[in-house]
Amino acid sequence: MKKLLIGALALLLLSGCGSITADSGSDTSTEIGYDRSEAKVALSEGSAIAVDQQMIQTASITLRVDDVAQSADDISQYVASIGGRIDSKNEYRNPDSSEITSTDLMVKVPSEQLDAALERLKSFGDLEGFSTSASDVTLQVIDLDARIASLETSIASLKKLLDEATTVTDLLAAETALSQRQSELDSLKSQRTYLADQIKLSAIWINIYPKNALDAVKPIGFVAGLEKGWEAIVDFASNLTTWTGLALPWFGLLLLLAIVLRLFGAISKSRRKR
């Protein structure tokens, strides 16, 4: 009778191992005295931390600076000083001079210091653009914690069942169910760790451009305008000389072709008169 009971429990656990999925709206799984809905209630009622609002915050800043490379280094040092990190850095250079013309940074800073960090980052140059956003992931956190707790309870029950197994069939069934549940648990814990990192550290995208890139669109005054106009005339004259030099050989070739065709025409005309 004991063997039959153990075998039935193993098969029941094996058949119900797929009931806990990544879909938060799936049915509760068949466990020994414990299901997912009970886990969610226990977490929401028994732990104040579990129901605290969990937010993922992000921001974007565009700065105009005198020295792009130096400003990028200064920002990187500041982010490191407050416990943040640089997740990505892209530099763009002038192919002729190798001078850094712009830099894009993606940094992570502690979320509790986000407001202060944004104000400090704005001071590294002239602020050209700024935006922030926040996403509430409280329900995702509660759901993941509930599913993790449910799987941990299920695994503990399966390990106990595995110790009590007396037949090869019961042993294989318990081991298979245990392996699948452990894999699901590891996946959920990875998701929870990734989510916790996004909550703990806020992402900021920082675009750094030189101030002199705006010179072309700023008013430059009457005298500077005359200078620019004279430079444009000189450039045009220089280009016109170049174009003339390129065109003259073609004009000569066309003239030669015209003379040859005219001679052929004159010869043909004289033959007709004869």
pLDDT for position 38: 39
Q: Which of 121, 119, 109 is nearest to 82 (CA)?
A: 109
Q: Tell me if residue 267 falls in helix, strand or coil.
A: helix
pLDDT for position 21: 39
Residue 90 burial (C-beta neighbours within 10 Å; 0-12, 13-18, 19+): exposed
pLDDT for position 50: 44
pLDDT for position 214: 60
CA dihedral 225, 228, 229, 231 (to 10 degrees): 160
Q: Render each residue's pLDDT in the chain as its tens digit; 274 residues.
A: 344 434 444 444 444 444 433 343 333 333 333 343 433 444 444 444 445 889 999 999 999 999 999 999 999 999 999 999 999 999 999 888 888 999 999 999 999 999 999 999 999 999 999 999 999 999 999 999 999 999 999 999 888 888 887 888 878 888 888 899 999 999 999 999 999 999 999 999 999 999 876 654 455 566 667 777 777 887 777 777 777 777 778 878 888 888 888 887 777 777 776 6
Cβ contact 64:71 at 8 Å: no
**Cβ neighbours for 162, distance < 8 A, ≥ 6 positions apart:** 171, 174, 175, 178
Rounded Cα gap, residues 136 and 56, in angstroms: 7
pLDDT for position 274: 64
